[in-house]
């Protein structure tokens, strides 16, 4: 029985199935185990998970682990499901279908049930399927944050690395909404895809004369802004391609940057970190994620943006482990979504 101040959709089990990392390992070998049902605090809601979107970050941490984790750790960050238990007066309420990007420091969402603070979620419109919604949080919010940090406005030239990746696909579409001229990289087989999304110029990232071809197309002035999802030496190259005092949003850790390059380009460098909203205990940032997810959902519902091609993954340890390895194999352009039935 639920407490008197708690609303509950149905009788709930005492345990649940979950996909866990027993310990970090290079092969990303996972296990499916039975765990107790999460117990919610006052402002938390319990959700029956329907779909989980996989991300490269899930694969990376399956190999390395994370300093805040205790093991076995439930993997997964992007969740969609139906609220099955909530205290009276909380919104969203029991029966609402919601999505969210969960805390990196807490247990993940590759499980039959999960708990989440009510202020960090977004209610999904009826016209948006659970699988489509599961593609949005990490990739979509990363794209929005990156474009906000580089202050994209009408007429800006923006260079979006890896345009066929999930973040790149969302970034291209939102940059075009803001009136930017979009340049991007992709393998030749994905040039048609990124042009369909709105890219004005596409370059083969394998091309040894990439920088020369970009400068020929762009002109001598350099990019106003860059969205860099690759990192390493690619970040150094991208700063070289920017105008003086240009703006770059980096989704990966910064490499060592030569002082001469910093003086010559004086770049405005921003870091994109969704996990920071939770790790910094910033209530404002967590609520802002809810607002961004609502914006993503509205754009999908209104057919203003499209989502990457979806591959359905079974809710078992071997299928998910294989899917995570594919996340890091390169040339992956879609989104993998785990269905939990």
**SS3 label, residue 157:** strand
pLDDT at 220: 87
Q: Is 148 exposed, middle or buried (0-12, 13-18, 19+ CB in 10 A)?
A: middle
Measuring CA to CA, which residue among 58, 102, 91 is closest to residue 293?
A: 102
Rounded to whole angstroms, how far apart are CA atoms 207 and 25? 34
Check if CATH label 3.30.1360.40 holds for domain 6-135+283-339.
no
The model's pTM is 0.96
Cis peptide before 72 (omega within 30 of 0): yes
pLDDT in tens, the chain (341 residues): 566 688 998 899 999 999 999 999 999 999 999 999 999 999 999 999 999 999 999 999 999 999 999 999 999 999 999 999 999 999 999 999 999 999 999 999 999 999 999 999 999 999 999 999 999 999 999 999 999 999 999 999 999 999 999 999 999 999 999 999 999 999 999 999 999 999 999 999 989 999 999 999 999 899 999 999 999 999 999 999 999 999 999 999 999 999 999 999 999 999 999 999 999 999 999 999 999 999 999 999 999 999 999 999 999 999 999 999 999 987 778 999 999 98
Domain layout of the chain by residue ranges = 6-135+283-339, 139-271
**What pLDDT does 3 receive?**
62
Could you tell me which of 68, 133, 61 has the C-alpha nearest to residue 106? Answer: 68
Q: What's the rounded Cα separation, in Å, for the pair 226 and 242?
A: 8
**Under 8 Å CB-to-CB from 227, ≥6 apart: which residues?**
143, 146, 147, 150, 158, 159, 160, 161, 167, 168, 171, 175, 248, 249, 251
Q: With contact defined as beta carbons under 8 Å apart, do 336 and 311 qualify?
A: yes
Decide: helix, strand or coil at residue 116: strand
Cα(149)–Cα(247) distance, rounded to whole angstroms? 8
Query: In this structure, what DSSP letter does residue 303 have?
Result: T
Give the pLDDT confidence score for residue 2 in this predicted structure: 63
CATH level 2 (architecture), domain 139-271:
3-Layer(aba) Sandwich (3.40)
């Amino acid at each position: 029985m639920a407490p008197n101040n708690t609303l509950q959709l149905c009788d709930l089990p005492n345990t649940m199935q979950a996909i866990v990392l027993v310990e970090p390992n290079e092969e990303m070998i996972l296990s499916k185990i039975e765990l107790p049902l999460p117990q919610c605090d006052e402002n938390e809601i319990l959700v029956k998970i329907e779909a989980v979107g996989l991300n490269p970050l899930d694969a990376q941490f399956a190999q390395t682990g994370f300093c805040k984790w205790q093991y076995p750790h439930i993997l997964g960050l992007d969740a969609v499901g139906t609220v099955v238990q909530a205290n009276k007066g909380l919104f969203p309420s029991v029966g609402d279908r919601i999505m969210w990007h969960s805390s990196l420091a807490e247990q993940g969402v590759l499980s039959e049930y999960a708990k989440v603070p009510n202020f960090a979620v977004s209610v999904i419109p009826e016209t948006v399927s659970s699988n489509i919604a599961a593609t949005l949080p990490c990739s979509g919010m990363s794209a929005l944050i990156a474009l906000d940090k580089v202050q994209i406005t009408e007429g800006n030239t923006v260079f979006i690395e890896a345009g066929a990746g999930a973040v790149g696909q969302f970034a291209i579409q939102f940059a075009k909404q803001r009136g930017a001229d979009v340049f991007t990289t992709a393998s030749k087989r994905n040039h048609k895809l990124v042009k369909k999304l709105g890219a004005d110029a596409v370059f083969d990232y394998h091309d040894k004369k990439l920088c020369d071809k970009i400068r020929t197309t762009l002109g001598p002035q350099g990019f106003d802004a860059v969205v860099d999802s690759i990192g390493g030496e690619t970040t150094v190259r991208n700063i070289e391609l920017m105008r003086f005092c240009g703006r770059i949003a980096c989704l990966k850790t910064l490499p060592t940057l030569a002082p001469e390059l910093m003086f010559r380009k004086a770049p405005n460098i921003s870091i994109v970190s969704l996990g920071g909203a939770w790790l910094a205990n910033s209530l404002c940032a967590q609520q802002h994620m809810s607002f961004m997810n609502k914006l993503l959902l509205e754009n999908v519902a209104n057919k203003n943006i499209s989502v990457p091609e979806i591959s359905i993954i079974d809710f078992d340890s071997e299928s998910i482990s294989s899917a995570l390895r594919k996340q890091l194999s390169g040339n992956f352009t879609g989104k993998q979504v785990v269905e939990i039935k």
